[in-house]
Amino acid sequence: MAPPQPTAPDKPPASKASGSDADYGVVTVFYGTDRAPMVDSPPASRFSGWWWWTACSTILPAGLALAAWRAQRRRAWVIGTGAGLALTLLLAIAAVSDGTGGAADASLKGPNYGPDRGRLALGTCRVSVPKARQFPRLDPSSLVALGVHVDLSKNQVLLDVQPSPEENFYRDLKARVAASSRKEAFVYVHGFNNSFADAAMVAAELAVDLKFDGAPVVYSWPSQAELVDYTVDECNVAWTQPHFKAFLLALAQQSGATSIHLIAHSMGNRALTSVLEEISEEMRDSTHLFRQVVLAAPDIDADTFRQEIAPAIVKTADRVTLYASSSDQALALSKRVHGYPRAGESGEQLVVVPGVDTIDVSAVDTGLICHDYYTDSSGVVADLVDVIQGALPPQKRPWLLPKQTDALTYWIFTKASQALSRVPTSTGYK
């Protein structure tokens, strides 16, 4: 299939960004969101929590170092001072890397959406996507807003957001689907600690890496985009479900797509699977409404998924694929918080149920957290291409090795696929 053809971008001011059309493209992403728009006073920066911890890491070691100095314990003073400086530096780097989240971007054309709850809004946004990307992914939007040089050939940037009335939104979406060779669309649902810009950039990146010819769509719920607000995100991912269901059904009815694929990550799987459960009950004996459903690193109680969720959602799609990893530190932390294994973990608690293709990607190494392997690993991206584009079952994907548990088959990445995952991600641009 031909790769997506990004439109020629509106160039940001030369003093703020650089890069040629040959180095990056611009992808138009359709969106639905129940975040409240930011108009006058943007909320606190996404990395304000980081700065709080950074300040604590400075003050506490400084106090201990002072006490050691007064007690004339030179070795303790040196160790305390060095540890404090190292911790402060690491947290400061994390604060900068975490981006500005809800903070307004002065370079952004059109409204931005923040962490507060709002009404369901529709529209399109444009995202610059470099042909060659480096990981981890950083959001340089705050630097652009401050007038700092940003090279669009290396960085993804949310360039503009254009809200649309419902009638215009579905008219434009239908036209985009009709222009595609396979009359299809995908919907991406983000997880915990994501801003609207984060979600839009991942959706655009997926469209490019999957060589997707149809309409890329993102659904963004009001995540606080703060690491310290996990419980708030848990409340909001439940709150968003009726809005997401209405959006998903309207899209299925009005997009004109013959194939709709659904991709969810982490906590976003809670919204997706809950909605699919309801749709399954309402569909009863009707045909599958969706083509491929991809559950990447689902932050869902594993037992609940086995007993209640999986039997229902397999009725709504042609194929359901679940990616799990024992290296996923974010889900390991979630397990400690909730007290029970998560559906996106592998190992002894790996979820293997009828009707769901479980893929153990523990061999994939994508850094310290290993939670974003579905976009950061070229091996997993290659597998996703065969799922979305080729509709291939696991036994026809050569890098997957079958394993048995309780008379059921699951699949693991082989050493060859682990080597592939270390290759820089290739994109759909040519």
261 in the same domain as 369: yes
Closest CA to 330 of 285, 372, 380: 372
196 in the same domain as 170: yes
Residue 216 has phi, psi (to 5 degrees) of -80, 135
Number of domains in the chain: 2
218 in the same domain as 140: yes
Residue 193 lies in a domain: yes
Cα pseudo-dihedral 391, 253, 233, 156, rounded to 10? 60
Residue 375 has phi, psi (to 5 degrees) of -120, -30
79 in the same domain as 207: no
Distance CA 361, CA 379 (A): 9
Residue 198 lies in a domain: yes
Residue 10 lies in a domain: no
The reported pLDDT for the residue numbered 42 is 42
The reported pLDDT for the residue numbered 423 is 38
Residue 317 lies in a domain: yes
29 bridge partner residues: 125
325 in the same domain as 213: yes
221 in the same domain as 78: no
In three-state secondary structure terms, 317 is: strand
Full domain range(s) for residue 118 = 17-38+109-421
Task: Estimate the crossing angle of helix 241-254 against helix 166-179, to 10 degrees.
Answer: 50
Closest CA to 277 of 308, 238, 323: 308
Distance CA 428, CA 130 (A): 11
64 in the same domain as 211: no
CA max distance for the chain: 79
Residues 198 and 268 sit within 8 Å (Cβ to Cβ): no
409 in the same domain as 262: yes
Residue 43 lies in a domain: no
Task: Estimate the crossing angle of helix 378-388 against helix 196-209, to 10 degrees.
Answer: 70
Residue 368: CATH number of its domain: 3.40.50.1820
Average pLDDT per block of 10 residues along the chain, 430 residues long: 39 40 87 88 42 58 63 64 66 50 50 94 95 64 61 84 97 98 98 95 96 97 96 98 98 97 98 97 82 98 98 96 96 96 95 98 84 91 95 95 95 68 40
130 in the same domain as 87: no
Residue 355 lies in a domain: yes
Residue 325 lies in a domain: yes
Residue 242 lies in a domain: yes
The reported pLDDT for the residue numbered 421 is 45
Residues 157 and 55 sit within 8 Å (Cβ to Cβ): no
With residue 411 as reference, give the H or E element that holds it: strand 408-413
214 in the same domain as 88: no
254 in the same domain as 188: yes
172 in the same domain as 197: yes
259 bridge partner residues: 184
Closest CA to 195 of 233, 245, 248: 233
